Structure 1
Amino acid sequence: MDRALQQATSSNKLKLIKAECLAFLGRYEEAQNIANDILHIDSLNVDALYVRGMCLYYQDFIEKSYSHLQQVLKLAPDYSKALELYRRVKLLITKKDEGNEAFKNGHLQEAYELYSCALEIDPSNVYTNAKLYFNRATVCSKISKLNQAIEDCTQAIKLDENYIKAYLRRAKW
């Protein structure tokens, strides 16, 4: 992409392809910078909005991502990549919220199943999955599955090595 951009320095299409690739590589800040530069010029560029929404999603800003993807789909209802990600985001929000609600209401087995289901939605969303593993570990500790609680905290730490709450909770058990 860099070679192509050397030849076509003003091509927003190539810049956005590069930004999408950077996002898939986990280089979210670089991808967002490219998308933001384009959005400063064209605030309704659906490709740039999609890239920004995708970056937000993978950085665990799920609600913001959802808003960006809604905006993309209002502007371009047939944008297949945005529609696919939008459905995944919506399902993830739903399962996570349902799991939180079940936990809050003391329906621990249901919360466990909902968090487990949410973990299957997108294995590549590491930061959100780290939180889901942590939530499921909390449920496991309440239903006397301490070994699984420790394993889930370990999984959360593998996904996000800076997740202090997971370290603290694992050490507690």
Structure 2
Amino acid sequence: MGLGHIEDALKHLSLATPQPDLLELHKLQTVEKHLGRCLDARKAGDWKSVLRESDAAIAAGADSSALLLAARAEALLRLNLLDEADLAISSASKLDYTSSCSSDTKFCGFLANAYLFYVHAQIDMSSGRFDHAVSSIDKARIIDPGNTEVVNMHNKVKSVARARSLGNELFNSGKFSEACVAYGEGLKQHPMNKVLYCNRAACRFKLEQWEKSIEDCNEALKIQSNYTKALLRRAASYGKMERWVESVKDYEILRKELPGDAEVAEAYFHAQVALKSSRGEEVSNMKFGGEVETIIGMEQFQMATSLPGVSVIHFMTPSNQQCCKVSPFVNTLCARYPSVNFLKVTNTAIHVTVPYPPYINMPFFLSPLQVDVNESPAVARAENVRTIPTFKIYKNGIRVKEMICPSQQLLEYSVRHFGI
């Protein structure tokens, strides 16, 4: 039953005992009912019902059926849920369906194994894995050469793959208008292909057709909302049109998707500067990247914490072992998040009165200590810093976070959270 072979399961159940197990019989009948509805819905092109009934059949006991998982994957694809479809067909591929399906087993009018490759080809093509798509549909046609759906999909996959290959060649040769046409031919065959839309958007960007580039990116993002290439190209196109609000919004999404990408961080920073400048706001103090800056006086501290954007202040002293441990990681964060200002207040005169036990499990353990130096005690007193290392995060001049002896995970999470 787990494989979805209802007839075989019924025969096995009837032969196993004189009186069939009524519970097992009910399960089989339930699977059979949902499987039948699933097949009928597919014939009608009702993909929501295909998804619902395949899920119901799997939940009822056919949880090892590669064919039902493939039907589920096909339904998800047709409902524009590409990531979920990819996951479902991957799960189906992991099952040993070749040994569980005879060569003449039929499913949805396909020879069973042909259907699996047929669905795989569609998802591979939609995901931009064109070579895999061609390989999968070739296998489907070898298994079931007389199936009309397989033949039609075979022609479509080959046509789209050729269009993409030609478009890439033309693009790499600098023939952007011709490449647009080639990608467009592929889209006529497969209008739900995010890669072809994104590639054509790149051509239109090169041709300075910013609005059309944005339109193609929008189409790609309808297919996969977190498609980073489309977001990058749309953000850049918005920038070319000086639509900075939209550009910044896209870069904010990209910063969450690609938190360690320096190019995205820099583009985001420049878009922020352009947006503020377009509003007449002060931007002369905004900076990007660089090393951790040292704060040595109250005036410098006040200026640093009032800057637009995000500033992370590290209160530390070089002679403290825990500060020495965390400082290299702060340098790493500075490189990883170049749009965030990292500053340190060193040689801070502080008096620690925190008792020993609460800090036993802290990653940067700090014993009570007295640091008696005089270079920047005013900053420590003004900020009421009594324990080092202490971190304070300011955003647009407002303190939004304070951490005492944070773990590396908490520190980076906080930087990412407020810096994006």
Q: TM-score normalised by the shorter chain: which range applies?
A: 0.7 to 0.9
**Is 1:152 aligned to 2:210, yes or no?**
no
Cα shift at 1:104: 1.3
The whole-number CA distance in structure 2 between the counterparts of 1:81 and 1:36 is 24
For 2:88, which of 30, 34, 43 is the aligned residue? 30
Q: In structure 2, what is the equivalent of residue 171 of structure 1?
A: 235
Deviations for 1:42-91, whole angstroms, at most 9, x for unmatched residues? Answer: 58633333333333334332211211211222233212211111111100
Output the amino acid matched with 1:25.
Answer: L
Unpaired runs of 5+ in structure 1? none
Q: 1:36 to 1:80 in 2, by over 3 A?
A: farther
Q: Write the mapping of 1:59-78 to structure 2, written as runs, cut at 5 A.
A: 59-78=127-146
**Change over 3 Å in CA distance of 1:56–1:139 after alignment to 2:** closer
Partner of 2:124: 56
Please say if residues 16 and 35 of structure 1, whose CA atoms lie closer than 8 Å, have aligned partners that are also in contact: no
Secondary structure of 2:189's counterpart equals coil
Q: Is the 8 A contact 2:183 2:199 kept in 1?
A: yes
Percent identity of paired positions between Structure 1 and Structure 2? 25
The two structures have a TM-score, normalised by structure 1, of 0.77
User: 1:11-26 alignment to 2 at 5 Å?
Assistant: 16=67, 19-26=70-77
Q: Is the counterpart of residue 143 in structure 1 residue 207 in structure 2? A: yes
Residues 55 and 39 (structure 1), Cα distance of their counterparts in 2 relative to 1, 3 Å cut: farther
Q: Which protein has greater RCO, CA pairs closer than 8 Å, 6+ apart?
A: 1
The answer on whether the counterparts of 1:38 and 1:48 sit within 8 Å (CA) in structure 2 is no
SS of 2:118's equivalent? Answer: helix
TM-score with structure 2 length normalisation?
A: 0.35
CA distance in 1, matches of 2:198, 2:207: 14
1:39 and 2:82 aligned: no
Deviation at 1:96, TM superposition (A): 0.9
Give the letter for the 2:215 counterpart: E
Tell me what 1:133 maps to.
197
Instruction: Give the superposed CA RMSD.
Output: 3.0
| Total equivalences in the alignment | 166
- Higher fraction of strand: 2
1:91 aligns with 2:142: no
- Bigger CA radius of gyration: 2
What residue identity is the alignment partner of 2:178? E
- In structure 2, distance between residues paired with 1:155 and 1:46: 30
1:106 maps to a residue whose letter is G
Q: Which has the higher helix share?
A: 1
CA contact (8 A) 1:39 1:48 kept: no
